[in-house]
Amino acid sequence: MSQPASNSSAASSASTVEDFKANLASIRERIAAAELAAGRATGSVRLLPVTKTVPEDRLRLAIEAGVEWLGENKVQEAARKAENLADISGLKYSVIGHLQTNKAKDVARFAHEFQALDNLRQATALQRRLELEDRSLDVFVQVNTSGEETKFGLEPTAVSTFLKSLPGLDRLRVKGLMTLAIFSTDHQAVRTCFTMLRELRDQVRQDAPEGIGLDELSMGMSGDFELAIAEGSTVVRVGQGIFGARALPDSHYWPGFAG
Ligand SMILES: *Cc1c(COP(=O)(O)O)cnc(C)c1O
């Protein structure tokens, strides 16, 4: 399977604050255009810059250019950055990759958001650690909409039952659903994943427990965020479109992905 448009949609490598400002402005313009085209309100989509593999010295430039949210795939890398950038106030970390239960304590300590919740053991471990830290965490439930076995996330049919197991975990503020579309250059196949997440949300909302928020849909990355916005995305996770192509292959971040 080939890489989606993500590499061709990578920004050229930014190395100054001005470069980052220009890259951010261009992504924000494209988000606004996609909102308009979909008949959606301006500002209804949040840009989550994905900062994985970007070292702290370059991040400082991006932060100066306006980046406040840092989307990180790996807990260890995120924890290191939270420590090394602790002198900057107001930064918010969103962990968007698979979490092993034994790393829940790290996420509970520094993260503001966790987008890859997909099992009850993990949810329980997070609740316990958040109680110890006296913190709460915004969470998204990850759904596997592509049917690929290597992908993390709940099967769509399991989401409704899973949501019903969460209300007792009061440190987790459920905001919505998250997905990674299929890796394909076939736009229709990619779009089908986004449609599925939106329709699933509409369906599970009907009998979701009180307090479980389902307004948010985190879907869309550098190569496909316009399609995702057309399908109702409220959070787009954009890395290479801001920071340039990554040196490490995505298989390093997405186990099983051979791209
Ligand atoms: C890396 C990553 C992204 C961003 O991908 P880009 O192609 O850099 O925009 C989005 N979501 C997740 C879960 C990721 O790991």
Q: What is the pLDDT of the chain when averaged over all its residues?
A: 93
User: What tokens were used for 24?
Assistant: 């951010």
In testing the pocket of ligand 1, which one of 3, 47, 50 has its CB within 8 Å of the most ligand atoms? 50
What whole-number distance in Å separates Cα of residue 61 and Cα of residue 245?
Answer: 17
Position 257 in a domain: no
- Strand partners for 92: 69
What whole-number distance in Å separates Cα of residue 207 and Cα of residue 242?
Answer: 39
Q: What would the mean pLDDT of 200-217 be, rounded to a whole number?
A: 97
Is the pLDDT at 259 greater than 90, yes or no? no
Closest CA to 55 of 72, 36, 32: 72
CB 145, CB 185: distance < 8 Å? no
Position 217 in a domain: yes
DSSP per residue, 137-178:
EEEEEEB--S--TT--SB-GGGHHHHHHT-TT-TTEEEEEEE
Cβ(239) to ligand 1 under 6 A?
yes
3-state secondary structure of 67: coil
Is the pLDDT at 6 greater than 60, yes or no? no
Give how far Cα 121 sits from Cα of 68, 118, 126, 160, 205, Å: 30, 9, 9, 17, 23
Burial class (CB in 10 A: 0-12, 13-18, 19+), 191: middle
Position 256 in a domain: no
Give how far Cα 46 sits from Cα of 36, 43, 151, Å: 14, 7, 24
- Segment 129-182, tens digit of pLDDT: 999 999 999 999 999 999 988 779 999 999 999 999 998 999 999 999 999 999
DSSP per residue, 179-224:
----S-S-HHHHHHHHHHHHHHHHHHHTTPPTT----EEE---TTT
Number of domains in the chain: 1
Is the pLDDT at 249 greater than 80, yes or no? no
Cβ(97) to ligand 1 under 6 A?
yes
In testing the pocket of ligand 1, which one of 27, 145, 221 has its CB within 8 Å of the most ligand atoms? 221
Give residue 8's pLDDT band: very low, low, confident or very high (50, 70, 90): low
- Residue nearest atom 11 in ligand 1 by C-alpha distance: 237
CB 139, CB 175: distance < 8 Å? yes
Is the pLDDT at 123 greater than 60, yes or no? yes
Position 143 in a domain: yes
Tell me the residue range of the domain where 201 lies. Answer: 17-244
- Our measurement of the distance from residue 33's CA atom to the centroid of its chain's CA atoms, rounded to an integer in Å, reads 21
User: What tokens were used for 206?
Assistant: 């009907």
CB 138, CB 114: distance < 8 Å? yes
Position 84 in a domain: yes
End-to-end CA distance of the chain: give it in Å, rounded: 7
Give residue 2's pLDDT band: very low, low, confident or very high (50, 70, 90): very low
Strand-strand pairing, 235-238 and 92-95? unpaired
- Strand partners for 143: 154
CB 109, CB 145: distance < 8 Å? no
User: 225 CA distance to ligand 1 centroid (A)?
Assistant: 11
3-state secondary structure of 183: coil
Position 101 in a domain: yes
Position 11 in a domain: no
Per-residue pLDDT, 251: 66
Position 255 in a domain: no
Number of residues in the chain:
259
CATH number at residue 72: 3.20.20.10
Q: What would the mean pLDDT of 203-224 be, rounded to a whole number?
A: 97
Give the number of C-alpha atoms closer than 13 A to the C-alpha of residue 23, restricted to the C-beta side. Answer: 28
User: What tokens were used for 39?
Assistant: 């008949």
